[in-house]
Homo-oligomer: A and B are copies of this chain.
Amino acid sequence: MKVISFCISFLIFSISMAGQNNASYSAGKIIESIIRQTASGTIPNTVDVIKVGDPKTPVTGIVTTMFATMDVLRKAVEMNCNLIIAHEPLFYNHLDETKQFENDPVFLEKKKFIDDNKLVIWRFHDYIHRLKPDAIDFGMAKKLGWEKYNPDKEFNRFLIPETTLRELLVELKRIFPKSTFNVVGDPDMKLSKVAFSAGAPGSSQHIRLLEDPTVDIVLAGEVPQWETYEYVRDAVSQNRKKAIIFLGHVTSEEPGMEYCAEWLKGFIKDLPVNFVASGPSYWTY
């Protein structure tokens, strides 16, 4: 069924693009087609809207990224890409509210850079998670080389060869050398059953996973420190064989946006599509 729905949506996309030359692909039309490709029903009140820019803008190239930071925007301009597809907000809050920034110099300079360069910034959050499998999960599975350890093809549960928490961290650091991980758990704990929980879904999801006897450890993005952190601290103190690694929000979802570029190239053939890493926002001391 998935294959059929994929073929139908690909056909619709191909038809909708037919007869256009590259220069006439507008941002709005490309975005519509990407949403169609996810095969998701319409999501009400989605945050996946154009944050800044004119949907009629003819697209010269596409950049996918985790956050459309100042650096990412500059790189996009250098690459002559004017449609930036970011997983997360542009202006520092989930709904990209900007009223409070009317006199804020950081906001004003960023907005001016976008306007001056006639960029279009679109958020691709709710719909990319609706792909089957969730493209953010699949991107992480690919990044970790764990596709083969995935029993149910959902790519958020993995049965890996038995290792310890310490050894798993060494492997994660090899893959994400710029990231620092926050860890709750005994470094000598043996584990093989891993659940992945991208981004910031809230502690209820983490705790549900940790309650599950088929989960040893959760790889998570982030959560308020008074929530899952304290739950796992208590669990460990009660000698339960449970642990959690917070990869950081960016690290947990950026591989998904890297994979997103690859996925887009599967049906956007006539425009350059590039992934640009925003990388972790912070360093640690």
Contact = CB atoms under 8 A, between A and B. Distances in A.
Contacts of A184: 281-283
Contacts of A149: none
A245 to B, nearest CB: 8
Contacts of A230: 67, 69, 88-89, 92, 281
A207 interface: yes
B92 A180 contact: no
A109 interface: yes
Interface in A199-244: 200, 203-204, 207, 211, 222, 224-235, 237-238, 240
A110 interface: yes
Given A70-B238, A224-B200, A238-B70, A207 B104 contact: yes
A249 B229 CA distance: 11
A182 interface: yes
Contacts of A222: 224-225
A231 B92 contact: yes
A284 B282 CA distance: 14
Nearest to A225: B249
A248 interface: yes
Given A200-B224, A224-B200, A285 B237 contact: no
A238 B70 CA distance: 8
Given A69-B234, A207-B104, A285 B169 contact: yes
A143 B7 CA distance: 64
For the residues of A in contact with B, the DSSP-based class is mixed
B67 A285 contact: no
A270 interface: no
Interface residues of A, number: 53
Interface of A: 67, 69-71, 88-89, 92-94, 100, 103-106, 109-110, 169, 173, 180-184, 200, 203-204, 207, 211, 222, 224-235, 237-238, 240, 246, 248-250, 281-285
Sort A-B residue pairs by CB-CB distance and give the 10 closest, nearest first: A70-B237, A225-B249, A229-B281, A182-B282, A169-B285, A92-B231, A233-B281, A106-B235, A70-B234, A181-B285
Given A110-B238, A182-B284, A224-B224, 5 more contacts: A67-B226, A93-B227, A180-B182, A225-B250, A226-B249
18 contacts: A69-B234, A70-B233, A70-B234, A70-B237, A88-B230, A92-B231, A105-B240, A106-B231, A180-B180, A180-B285, A181-B285, A182-B284, A200-B224, A225-B249, A225-B282, A229-B281, A232-B281, A284-B284
